[in-house]
């Protein structure tokens, strides 16, 4: 077949494609025939004809998609803060593949922890978390011995073995859940409050921060973290105490904790001390706490699960810039949400789901009860599948439910086997909480290292 005959044959096939389109479509998708002819002249085989036809078909298909999107412009909503949301269907891709959200770190006890737990006959998992500096530094010993001299009127030396014996008795009492036994039956309480009250003031939680530092040195968390508050119940007189009339324990000291989802190991935390001078007034407290707790673990493809106190588009964007995603419930009064999410009343039927996407997030609106919607903001999911059973729960809500409760479980374990006893000295109460959490971390380290 000559080149001229082959080109005529090719144009006949192209014209047949055009006949399948409407007149309006042909107007939009017409291709310059001279350009096609010149392009044809560069090919010498029948296979090349098929390539050209495929190019032509691909151009038409692509432009049909554009036309379809233009028809759905009414599904796009720009909200008060400028965020652009678009309704999407179940399972549809958000258009952004989160290839950077791939976790590659090795999780579990660090090499430092393994060396000291397995090879050393002296150091235990507990001594890595509550180390010699916490138990017996010069500051603690000086003020404890000074307090002892004031009471006994004679010199008294504090030995580290006595401190460990005291801690051992506290854990033994906690294991038997004997919280109401008077501490004087186990050890003389004169020595405890004095050295911790002098070590930890309102703005100087030296022991707490050393405990967190040791915990981080001994363990690398997995791909999923959970952040939440811990309320440590105490009626000790303290300006840091929180009064919450709706809680079972109305008076408590608040701690912010981050835990590994798979192991429940506490990887970060700090106490709530009121207004923080390091926080700018324009940054909400929840965003500040989330960023601070997540900071040591960003950049490695992890995901963080939080509740509606911490969730906002702002903190999700900041974490996403550090290769860390966020999944959390979000309050319906947020300015970045579309109108349907902010409405108290709507036309949604029970167990139905509506999905929105913006540039970086997917918003799931699920009607859980006749008068209640659940809102989940996720920068982790690129698409959302929905169950086919009667309640039709979206996968974002299922994921949230499976990862959010970890800090609550940690708190539950700590309360059940607590070393805490009645005491009006809040520094000692804080130390009891450190021991409770350190016991959990030490057990996880020992179990994962030794099997």
Asked if residue 125 is part of any domain, the answer here is: yes
pLDDT value of position 257: 97
pLDDT value of position 325: 96
Mean pLDDT of the chain: 78
Asked if residue 90 is part of any domain, the answer here is: no
Burial status of residue 389 (CB atoms within 10 A of its CB: 0-12, 13-18, 19 or more) = exposed
101 — pLDDT class (breaks 50, 70, 90): low
Considering the domain architecture, whether residues 144 and 164 belong to the same structural domain is answered as yes
pLDDT score of 324 more than 70: yes
Considering the domain architecture, whether residues 322 and 432 belong to the same structural domain is answered as no
Does residue 168 or residue 47 have the better pLDDT? 168
Considering the domain architecture, whether residues 406 and 279 belong to the same structural domain is answered as yes
Considering the domain architecture, whether residues 438 and 361 belong to the same structural domain is answered as no
Asked if residue 350 is part of any domain, the answer here is: yes
Instruction: Summarize the confidence of residues 249-258 as an average pLDDT.
Output: 91
Considering the domain architecture, whether residues 382 and 290 belong to the same structural domain is answered as yes
Considering the domain architecture, whether residues 381 and 435 belong to the same structural domain is answered as no
Instruction: Summarize the confidence of residues 9-15 as an average pLDDT.
Output: 45
pLDDT score of 25 more than 70: no
pTM of this structure: 0.70
290 vs 311: CA distance, rounded Å? 9
127 vs 125: CA distance, rounded Å? 6
First to last CA, the chain: 76
pLDDT score of 354 more than 50: yes
Angle at the Cα of 296 from the Cα atoms of 295 and 297, rounded to 5 degrees: 90
pLDDT score of 261 more than 90: yes
pLDDT score of 202 more than 90: no
169 — pLDDT class (breaks 50, 70, 90): low
The secondary structure of 358-393 as a DSSP string is: -SS-EEEEEEEETTEEEEEEESS-SS--B-SSSS--
Picking from 183-197, 257-271, 273-287, 367-381, which range would have the lowest pLDDT averaged per residue?
A: 183-197
Considering the domain architecture, whether residues 335 and 431 belong to the same structural domain is answered as no
pLDDT score of 364 more than 90: yes
446 — pLDDT class (breaks 50, 70, 90): very high
pLDDT value of position 98: 52
Considering the domain architecture, whether residues 377 and 428 belong to the same structural domain is answered as no
pLDDT value of position 309: 95
Considering the domain architecture, whether residues 173 and 145 belong to the same structural domain is answered as yes
Angle at the Cα of 311 from the Cα atoms of 305 and 315, rounded to 5 degrees: 100
186 — pLDDT class (breaks 50, 70, 90): very low
Considering the domain architecture, whether residues 402 and 304 belong to the same structural domain is answered as yes
pLDDT score of 103 more than 50: yes
pLDDT value of position 287: 96
Asked if residue 311 is part of any domain, the answer here is: yes
Counting other chains too, the contacts that 39-45 makes at CB distance below 8 Å and 24 or more residues apart are 40/6, 40/7, 40/10, 41/3, 41/7, 44/3
Asked if residue 208 is part of any domain, the answer here is: no
What is the number of structural domains in the chain? 2
Considering the domain architecture, whether residues 372 and 288 belong to the same structural domain is answered as yes
Considering the domain architecture, whether residues 319 and 404 belong to the same structural domain is answered as yes
Asked if residue 236 is part of any domain, the answer here is: no
- Domain interval for residue 303: 99-106+275-411
Does residue 194 or residue 237 have the better pLDDT? 237
Q: Which residue has the tokens 């959490």?
A: 437
Angle at the Cα of 377 from the Cα atoms of 100 and 366, rounded to 5 degrees: 135
Asked if residue 30 is part of any domain, the answer here is: no
Which residues on adjacent β-strands are paired with residue 258?
227, 268
pLDDT value of position 54: 52
Picking from 91-95, 115-119, 123-127, 168-172, which range would have the lowest pLDDT averaged per residue?
A: 91-95
Instruction: Summarize the confidence of residues 216-245 as an average pLDDT.
Output: 90
237 — pLDDT class (breaks 50, 70, 90): confident
pLDDT score of 245 more than 90: no
pLDDT tens per residue, range 403-429: 999 999 999 988 888 888 877 778 888
- 8 Å CB contact between 362 and 355: yes
Asked if residue 296 is part of any domain, the answer here is: yes
């Amino acid at each position: 077949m000559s080149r001229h005959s082959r080109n005529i044959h090719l144009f006949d096939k192209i014209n047949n494609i055009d006949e399948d389109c409407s007149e309006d479509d042909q107007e939009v998708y017409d291709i310059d025939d001279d350009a096609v002819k010149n392009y044809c002249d560069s090919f010498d085989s029948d296979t090349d004809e098929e390539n050209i036809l495929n190019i032509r078909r691909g151009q038409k298909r692509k432009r049909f998609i554009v036309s379809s999107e233009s028809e759905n412009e009414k599904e796009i909503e720009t909200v008060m803060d400028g965020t652009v949301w678009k309704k999407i269907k179940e399972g549809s891709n958000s258009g952004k593949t989160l290839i950077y959200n791939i976790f590659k770190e090795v999780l579990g006890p660090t090499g430092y922890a393994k060396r000291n737990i397995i090879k050393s006959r002296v150091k235990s998992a507990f001594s890595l978390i509550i180390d010699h500096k916490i138990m017996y530094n010069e500051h603690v010993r000086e003020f404890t011995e000074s307090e002892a001299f004031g009471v006994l009127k004679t010199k008294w030396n504090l030995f580290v073995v006595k401190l460990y014996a005291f801690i051992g008795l506290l854990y033994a009492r906690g294991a038997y859940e004997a919280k109401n036994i008077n501490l004087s039956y186990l050890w003389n309480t004169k020595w405890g409050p004095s050295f911790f009250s002098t070590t930890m003031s309102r703005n100087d939680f030296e022991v707490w921060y050393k405990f967190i530092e040791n915990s981080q040195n001994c363990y690398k968390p997995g791909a999923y973290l959970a952040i939440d508050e811990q309320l440590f119940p105490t009626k000790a007189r303290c300006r840091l105490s929180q009064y919450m009339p709706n809680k079972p324990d109305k008076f408590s000291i608040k701690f912010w904790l981050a835990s590994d989802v798979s192991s429940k190991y506490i990887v970060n935390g700090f106490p709530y001390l009121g207004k923080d001078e390091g926080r700018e007034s324009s940054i909400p407290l929840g965003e500040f706490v989330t960023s601070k707790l997540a900071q040591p673990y960003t950049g490695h493809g992890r995901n963080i699960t939080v509740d509606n106190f911490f969730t906002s588009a702002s903190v999700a964007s900041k974490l996403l810039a550090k290769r860390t995603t966020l999944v959390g419930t979000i309050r319906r009064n947020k300015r970045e949400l579309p109108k349907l999410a902010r409405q108290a009343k709507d036309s949604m039927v029970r167990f139905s789901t509506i999905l929105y996407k913006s540039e970086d997030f997917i918003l799931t609106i699920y009607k859980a009860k006749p008068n209640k919607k659940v809102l989940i903001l996720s920068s982790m999911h690129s698409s959302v599948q929905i169950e086919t059973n009667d309640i039709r729960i979206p996968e974002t809500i299922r994921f949230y439910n499976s990862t959010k409760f970890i800090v609550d479980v940690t708190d539950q374990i700590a309360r059940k086997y607590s070393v805490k006893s009645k005491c009006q000295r809040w520094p000692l109460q804080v130390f009891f909480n450190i021991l409770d959490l350190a016991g959990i971390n030490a057990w996880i380290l020992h179990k994962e290292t030794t099997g």
